[in-house]
């Protein structure tokens, strides 16, 4: 699934190419899974409107249009935005390797395979939303997307509103007992963080993915927040181009194509391992992410040490 950096890449692409232009023509495929509206409704509601902004929150992306209308998009597992004549980055996933190569590599064929919606602006720029698995969604809103579900129910966005450590955020993290990996994938906690990001967040924080949230110390929660910010800002800074990510990220080890080339991947000389946490494939480095004693045990040991 495209995660925060990939969706931000698409937002920037739209901002560079279609901002301030009017929508002159619309083509849409009849698809009641991807769309909330019929093609004729999309045309009636979108045509002639000016594109005045491209916004993102978490994994949601939307175009802000004139007269208070927004076009909201969620990419699901394989959704994408592509502009004609612009080579685009693609999200890596093994099961869709052939499909994604077909629809996302630079090509003169237009519209690309699996396209669902095409907008053509007044200056002739063409942009499509596409989705091979049809798990994405496109919806027209006549309210501020930030003020209504699903976006209003999301947690903080690490790029837009990353919180500093506080007693409140400490209680939010430790007030329930779930594996850390599960917490990071909960969009009501950190909007935009997905599977690969969560693994690199935990590696950078030196926290085991199965550690229970209610066992974390204030220092560890601080490390977690710092790591969420670092991974997010760094990935966005590289415009979601995974080839440019630091070599000591487990991002480079998780894809089957990488594992075929290197069956025993390492990070800084330490072996990488694969486990399942909450039903999700999880990549971590056992030597660097050790399961620490429970918080209660650590507090007991500290009291005993102080008595000595």
- State the residue for tokens 């499509």: 128
3-state helix, strand, coil in the chain (%, to 5): 35, 20, 40
Which residues, including other chains, have CB under 8 Å from residue 9's CB and lie 6 or more apart? 89, 239, 240
163 is catalytic: no
Could you give the CA distance from residue 88 to residue 81 in angstroms, rounded to a whole number? 9
Of the candidates 40, 34, 66, the residue with the CA atom closest to the CA atom of residue 53: 66
Residue 130: strand, helix, or coil: strand
Could you give the CA distance from residue 193 to residue 23 in angstroms, rounded to a whole number? 32
> What does R_g of the chain's alpha carbons equal in angstroms?
22
Widest CA span in the chain: 78
**Among residues 3, 8, 215, 220, which one is catalytic?**
3
Could you give the CA distance from residue 49 to residue 127 in angstroms, rounded to a whole number? 15
Of the candidates 249, 237, 247, the residue with the CA atom closest to the CA atom of residue 8: 237
**Among residues 8, 59, 158, 209, which one is catalytic?**
59
3 is catalytic: yes
Could you give the CA distance from residue 239 to residue 192 in angstroms, rounded to a whole number? 15
- Residue-level length of the chain: 308
Which residues, including other chains, have CB under 8 Å from residue 150's CB and lie 6 or more apart? 60
Q: Are 29 and 39 in contact (CB under 8 A)?
A: yes
Give the helix/strand (H/E) hosting 225. Answer: helix 218-237
Could you give the CA distance from residue 259 to residue 53 in angstroms, rounded to a whole number? 40
Residues taking part in catalysis: 2-3, 59
């Amino acid at each position: 699934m495209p995660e925060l950096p990939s969706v931000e890449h698409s937002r920037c692409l739209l901002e560079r190419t279609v901002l301030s232009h009017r929508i002159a023509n619309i083509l849409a495929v009849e698809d009641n899974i991807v769309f909330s509206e019929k093609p004729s409704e999309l045309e009636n509601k979108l045509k002639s409107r000016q594109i005045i902004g491209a916004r993102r929150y978490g994994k949601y992306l939307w175009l802000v249009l004139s007269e208070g209308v927004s076009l909201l998009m969620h990419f699901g597992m394989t959704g994408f935005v592509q502009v004609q004549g612009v080579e685009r980055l693609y999200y890596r996933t093994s099961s869709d390797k052939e499909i994604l190569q077909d629809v996302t590599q630079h090509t003169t064929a237009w519209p690309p395979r699996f396209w669902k919606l095409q907008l053509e602006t007044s200056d002739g720029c063409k942009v499509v939303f596409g989705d091979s698995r049809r798990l994405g969604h496109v919806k027209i809103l006549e309210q501020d997307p930030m003020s209504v579900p699903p976006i209003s129910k999301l947690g903080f966005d690490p790029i837009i509103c990353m919180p500093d450590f506080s007693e409140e955020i400490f209680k939010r993290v430790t007030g329930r007992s779930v594996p850390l990996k599960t917490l990071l994938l909960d969009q009501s906690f950190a909007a935009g963080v997905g599977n690969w990001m969560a693994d690199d967040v935990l590696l950078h924080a030196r926290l085991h993915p199965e550690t229970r949230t209610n066992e974390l110390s204030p220092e560890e929660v601080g490390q977690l927040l710092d790591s969420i910010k670092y991974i997010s800002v760094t990935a966005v800074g590289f415009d979601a181009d995974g080839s440019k990510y630091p070599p000591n990220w487990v991002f480079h080890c998780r894809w089957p194509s990488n594992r075929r080339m290197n069956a025993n991947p390492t990070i800084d000389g330490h072996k990488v391992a694969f486990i399942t946490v909450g039903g999700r494939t999880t990549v971590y480095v056992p030597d660097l992410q050790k399961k620490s004693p429970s918080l209660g045990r650590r507090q007991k040991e500290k009291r005993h040490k102080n008595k000595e």
